[in-house]
């Protein structure tokens, strides 16, 4: 079955009137030239938004005759087979990254720590899958913009970034492994001033240009 996530910031509003959030036109996920039609009726999905009470929400489906397959429309706040809101899973990850123990997080919402640990694992694995796409963009961004963070506030993030840069430097056999600012420069096509960030005016010497920018 194909699945389309739709934007829906208001869970309660969806509960009352899901039709309001349905897309006007649904395209087949496999081939946008296909013309799916809407299924009559809907199915129920059981949610526990506050970790205690169950609420039934309605899910709608389209059907693609060319693919002979259904396309179900999922509001952004739920995932298949997960009775909690995505927000609950995300909150657990944020707390985990901030150093709260899984047992403490689980205690607060009255869940088994194993369940919470599963949520965290799933999101972390997804993040790893996305890393190859995100890191090149991040490196580019880093070379031409100032991140809205400071190294004292986001010490861990900075450390991670530098270790990724270091690994990249090893990978491309960058001749100055510890000069990571220089590496940022190379990745940013030399738009940053080399070796020390934006300090005064600086031009590359011809040797540097030859080594790093060829
Ligand atoms: Zn199709």
Pick from 64-68, 112-116, 204-208, 209-213: least confident: 209-213
Distance (angstroms) between ligand 1 centre and the Cα of 67 equals: 4
Residue 204 vs residue 140, higher pLDDT: 140
Distance (angstroms) between ligand 1 centre and the Cα of 60 equals: 17
SS3 38: strand
Pairing of strands 69-75, 55-64: antiparallel
Distance (angstroms) between ligand 1 centre and the Cα of 25 equals: 14
Residue 64 vs residue 133, higher pLDDT: 64
Give yes or no for residue 197 having a pLDDT over 50: no
Cβ–Cβ under 8 Å, residues 126 and 174: no
Q: Which pLDDT score, from 0 to 100, does residue 1 have?
A: 83
Mean pLDDT along residues 26-41? 91
Q: Which pLDDT score, from 0 to 100, does residue 20 have?
A: 93
Distance (angstroms) between ligand 1 centre and the Cα of 1 equals: 11
Tokens 């809205």 belong to 148
CA atoms within 13 A on the CB side of 19: 4
> Which of 60, 13, 11, 56 shows the shortest CA–CA distance to 38?
60
Write down the pTM of the prediction: 0.61
Give yes or no for residue 122 having a pLDDT over 80: yes
- The highest-confidence range among 74-83, 154-163, 174-183, 197-206, by mean pLDDT, is 74-83
Distance (angstroms) between ligand 1 centre and the Cα of 37 equals: 10
Q: Which pLDDT score, from 0 to 100, does residue 192 have?
A: 45
pLDDT band at 194 (very low <50, low <70, confident <90, very high): very low
Give yes or no for residue 141 having a pLDDT over 80: no
Q: Which pLDDT score, from 0 to 100, does residue 140 have?
A: 73
Residue 13 vs residue 146, higher pLDDT: 13
Distance (angstroms) between ligand 1 centre and the Cα of 38 equals: 13
Distance (angstroms) between ligand 1 centre and the Cα of 10 equals: 30
Residue 10 vs residue 116, higher pLDDT: 116
Distance (angstroms) between ligand 1 centre and the Cα of 70 equals: 9
Q: Which pLDDT score, from 0 to 100, does residue 59 have?
A: 94
Any idea what the Cα angle at residue 88 is, between residues 85 and 89, rounded to 5°?
A: 100
């Amino acid at each position: 079955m194909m699945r389309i996530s739709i934007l829906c910031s208001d869970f309660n509003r969806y509960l009352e009137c899901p039709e309001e959030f349905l897309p006007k036109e649904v395209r087949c996920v496999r081939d946008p030239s296909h013309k799916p039609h809407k299924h009559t009726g809907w199915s129920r999905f059981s949610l526990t938004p506050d970790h205690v009470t169950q609420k039934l929400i309605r899910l709608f489906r389209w059907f693609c005759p060319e693919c002979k397959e259904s396309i179900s429309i999922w509001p952004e706040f739920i995932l298949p087979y997960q009775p909690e809101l995505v927000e609950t899973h995300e909150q657990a990850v944020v707390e985990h990254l901030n150093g709260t123990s899984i047992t403490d997080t689980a205690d607060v919402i009255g869940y088994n720590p194993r369940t919470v640990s599963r949520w965290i694992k799933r999101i972390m694995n997804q993040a790893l899958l996305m890393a190859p796409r995100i890191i090149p963009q991040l490196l580019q961004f880093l070379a031409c913009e100032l991140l809205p963070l400071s190294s004292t506030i986001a010490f861990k993030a900075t450390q991670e970034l530098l270790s990724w840069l270091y690994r990249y430097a090893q990978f491309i056999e960058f001749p100055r492994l510890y000069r990571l600012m220089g590496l940022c420069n190379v990745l940013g096509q030399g738009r940053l001033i080399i070796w020390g960030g934006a300090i005064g005016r600086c031009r590359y010497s011809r040797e540097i240009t030859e080594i790093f920018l060829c």
